[in-house]
Amino acid sequence: MGPSGSGKTTLLNILSGIDRATSGEVIIDGQDITKLSNDQMALFRRERLGYVFQDFNLLDSLTLQENISLPLILDRRSPEEIEHRLGPLMALLSIAELKDKYPYHLSGGQKQRAAAARAVVNDPAVILADEPTGNLDSRSAHQLMEMLTSLNERLGSTILMVTHDPFAASFCRRVIFIRDGQLEFEIRTAGERKPFFDKILEAQSVLGGKPL
Ligand SMILES: Nc1ncnc2c1ncn2[C@@H]1O[C@H](COP(=O)(O)OP(=O)(O)OP(=O)(O)O)[C@@H](O)[C@H]1O
Ligand SMILES: [Mg+2]
């Protein structure tokens, strides 16, 4: 969490190798990804990483279903397997009936859910999500957070999420506040969501009261 312009998207872009940092290292699974070649980086992103972009990044020329299956198609999975994976995921996110529509026919919330589905369709080891609940109503936001929680618990995927929303943040184990590109403060959950939610609100009000 952190104010607009504090560097949240920049951090995710560096962790995913979209941007190269001018200094420092990024260690994922014991590997410094800043040392990978462009080809190795592309493979790492395709096989290990899911990214829910702040502005969705859906391809306008592909249907919703094609957009979501893209990581599997690139990975040369069979049409049966793709079908098998997409069905339940799209149903869970309430976008099954939109599968043949193109992104420009969809609302922001529908695009966001499609972007989330695409990011998790190959069960990535690491999921980076930039404001994944930003355009969702509270029910859809709740469903998405439960889906991410279950990926974390079921598959052990590591999830790093940017959010302005204390409710979404309360599903996490650890919340890091950044400002002007620096880690400012961090809090960890004791396990229960509701007390953590209150703790996040409190931290936000204290940090928000600070002069910039
Ligand atoms: N490609 C770029 N080149 C140079 N500066 C950039 C670039 N992208 C972002 N910045 C600057 O880096 C800083 C951090 O931007 P970033 O997009 O990471 O913020 P953010 O925390 O994601 O904000 P928001 O909550 O509005 O999405 C800002 O000052 C921004 O203007
Ligand atoms: Mg951003």
Range 174-186 average pLDDT:
94
Give the environment of ion ligand 2: residues with CB less than 5 A. Answer: 9
Task: From 87, 39, 42, select the one nearest 65 (Cα to Cα).
Answer: 87
Q: What whole-number distance in Å separates Cα of residue 8 and Cα of residue 91?
A: 30
Distance from Cα 164 to the centre of ligand 2, integer Å: 10
Cβ burial, residue 4 (10 Å; 0-12/13-18/19+):
exposed
Identify the band that residue 210 occupies on the pLDDT scale cut at 50, 70 and 90.
Answer: low
Distance 61 CA to ligand 1 centre (A): 28
Segment 176-182 mean pLDDT: 94
Q: What angle do CA 49, 53, 58 make, to 5 degrees?
A: 100
Predicted confidence (pLDDT) at residue 43 exceeds the cutoff of 90: no
Q: How many CB atoms sit inside 10 A of residue 67's CB?
A: 24
Mean pLDDT of the chain: 91
Q: CATH 3.40.50.300: does it fit domain 8-208?
A: yes
**pLDDT per position as a tens digit, 140-154:** 888 889 888 888 888
pLDDT, tens digit, 9 for 90 and up, residues 182-203 = 999 999 999 999 999 999 999 9
pLDDT at 194: 95
